[in-house]
Amino acid sequence: MNFTTYFARGQKVFLINTSADRDSSLFEAFSATIVAADNQQFTLRSRYPLHHGEEHTLKPGMSFKITTESYGSGVQLVGTIHSVSGRDFTVQPTAQLEMYQRSQVPRMDTILDYRTFSRSAPVTFFRQEWERYQALLSASSTDKLELSSGEINLGVGGFRHLVDKSDHNSELTMVFIDLEPGTPPICAVAELLWRRSLPDEDRLAIGQRFILIRKSDQERIQAYIQHRQKKQTKKAVRQKNNWELLDRMFRD
């Protein structure tokens, strides 16, 4: 298989943790860019720091599903980490390449209580903070987070919201979303996808993608959207598979 036909230098990819010893209750991922490629291995560079002190996100032997877009279609394969050096790491493909039709998962404009915390820090810092909040959060603790009501476009894969142009927006963000009364808020780490200016406004629209979130929270988001859409349209909404959000291949 000529992998470089679909995974070429300069291409942006999304890596989802599929390692056997991972916590299978979590969705864990990050983005990188291919800096060198041949049919034996890829060299990639992460978009943001992955390590902090002695804490390392990547280790040789870990496996990831690597997904991207090529020729207008989704493309994915499984690769194993061979070596790591700073932001650069090498991956050796270990599975047959699969192509799939890309589809948008349902999203919804809604008003919810939420809050984001942005900081220029590596993934390991955000994971430590995420684990700390996961241990502390309960249905009665949302007041301590000082969540505010606001417009948000929400989907299983991420969210869009508005910020002032003067606000600092780093590559990584911690987000809390109070989805339903009487339940703990969703806590996730997200990466910045894009910024867009709004006409005649001093605000920006920010698109962010979840890179660390409980799968049960993804299911809560999906159920919330399905319920709201069914209520509005009076009919069930058919779900589509978005393979960029699944830590498995077609053959699994």
Please indicate, yes or no, if residue 61 is contained in any of the structural domains.
Answer: yes
Task: At 185, list the tokens.
Answer: 């808020």
Q: In this structure, are 137 and 26 located in the same domain?
A: no
E strand or H helix at 215: helix 215-233
Domain extent, residue 38, equals 3-100
Q: Which CATH number covers residue 134?
A: 2.40.10
Strands (E), the chain: 12-17, 26-37, 42-46, 63-70, 73-85, 88-93, 98-100, 107-118, 148-155, 158-164, 172-178, 186-197, 203-214
Q: Which CATH number covers residue 29?
A: 2.30.110.70
Residue 109: its pLDDT value, please?
Answer: 93
Residue 110: its pLDDT value, please?
Answer: 94
Q: In this structure, are 165 and 81 located in the same domain?
A: no
Please indicate, yes or no, if residue 65 is contained in any of the structural domains.
Answer: yes
Please indicate, yes or no, if residue 119 is contained in any of the structural domains.
Answer: yes
**214-223 pLDDT, tens digit each:** 999 999 999 9
**How many domains does the chain contain in total?**
2
Residue 53: its pLDDT value, please?
Answer: 66
Q: In this structure, are 95 and 125 located in the same domain?
A: no
Q: Which residues pair with 187 in a beta bridge?
A: 176
Distances (CA, A) of 88 to 7, 29, 83, 173, 245: 16, 16, 9, 22, 24
Residue 238: its pLDDT value, please?
Answer: 65
Contact between 138 and 184 (Cβ < 8 Å) = yes
**7-62 pLDDT, tens digit each:** 999 999 999 999 999 999 999 999 999 999 988 899 999 999 988 766 678 999 99
Asked which of 52, 71, 100 is the last residue of a domain, the reply is: 100
**Ranges under pLDDT 70 in the chain:** 1, 53-55, 138-143, 234-240
